[in-house]
């Protein structure tokens, strides 16, 4: 990626609804150049989609939690199967497969701490492969939406 590709990616991360013409104008290049670059970035898999950011409290999910899960037996099938199960749960925002003591880190958003407890007890610990769970409430969450390519 060159400097122009990086600038285009940065602008689209800031606001994915920007028009091709607006990006071109801001970067001082022709709209055709910007369009060609954006198409190439999509074709290379650099740009994978456009998503809206949602205020979790505004949609009734003001409480976030981080749930770490240890699984047994340790196998690819067990880890991937549990990961896929958790991704389908409506409370789940993100799932990370990790190394260390726990196998997965699950980021969830729920209406209350009671709902977080219920999520862990009713959805997570009921699974036979779960050997341990640790839950933490998130006090504050900020995300860097613009990452500079390396």
Q: Name residue 94's beta-bridge partners.
A: 107
Helix (H, G, I), strand (E, B) or coil at 15: coil
Residue ranges in 15-112 assigned as alpha helix (H): 20-27, 31-43, 76-87
pLDDT digits (tens, 9 = 90+) for 22-65: 999 999 999 999 999 999 999 999 999 888 889 999 999 999 99
pLDDT digits (tens, 9 = 90+) for 63-99: 999 999 999 998 999 999 999 999 999 999 999 999 9
Domains and CATH numbers, the chain: 3-43 (1.10.10.10), 63-138 (3.30.70.920)
Question: CA 27 to CA 36: how far, in whole Å?
Answer: 14
């Amino acid at each position: 990626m060159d400097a122009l590709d990086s600038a285009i990616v940065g602008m689209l991360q800031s606001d994915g609804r920007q028009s091709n013409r607006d990006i071109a104008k801001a970067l001082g290049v022709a709209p055709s150049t910007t369009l060609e670059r954006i198409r190439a970035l999509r074709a290379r898999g650099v740009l994978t989609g456009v998503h809206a950011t949602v205020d979790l409290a505004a949609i009734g999910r003001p409480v976030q939690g981080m749930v770490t899960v240890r699984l047994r037996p340790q196998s690819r099938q067990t880890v991937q199967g549990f990961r896929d199960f958790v991704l389908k749960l409506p409370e789940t925002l993100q799932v990370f497969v990790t190394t260390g003591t726990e196998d997965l880190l699950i980021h969830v958003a729920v209406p209350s701490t009671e709902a977080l407890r219920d999520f862990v007890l009713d959805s997570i610990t009921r699974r036979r492969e779960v050997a341990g769970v640790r839950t933490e409430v998130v006090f504050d969450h900020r995300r860097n939406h613009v990452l500079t390519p390396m």
